[in-house]
Structure 1
Amino acid sequence: MAVIVVMIYFFVVLLDPYGLLKQGMKRDFYVCSTLCLFSFCIAFALAMKWQLPSPSPLIVSWISKLF
């Protein structure tokens, strides 16, 4: 399963952000690359069946502090 995730992200990284860099949109390229790296880390961890902490308690505490 992890091999499939790596292959899919390999093709996405080759096709998606390259056009931004080619057009001179460096800031957009860096944001896209950072988000792609972050989503790859999460997808790879889920494919390896690693336990990821839930962000729900953190979100609930932020909302309760806001109100």
Structure 2
Amino acid sequence: MRTTVDVDGAPAGTEGKVILSNGFNWLRYRVLFVNGNEIGDLDHRNIEPIGRSAKRLARQAKRAR
């Protein structure tokens, strides 16, 4: 994952790893960033997938068309 906006403790573009995802109607994530900060309650407004996750989501979107 990568931040798309500045969040407290992680400037925009900081990469991290999702360590917890939860929610039903509102999917939110707790992310451990490479700078050592751990931030919770992040969602699609704050972070974006990168790497294999981004490729997987692109394939799913293509199939859904």
TM-score (norm 2): 0.30
Larger % of helix: which?
1
Please give the TM-score of this superposition, normalised by the length of structure 1: 0.29
Q: Considering fraction of residues, name the structure with more strand.
A: 2
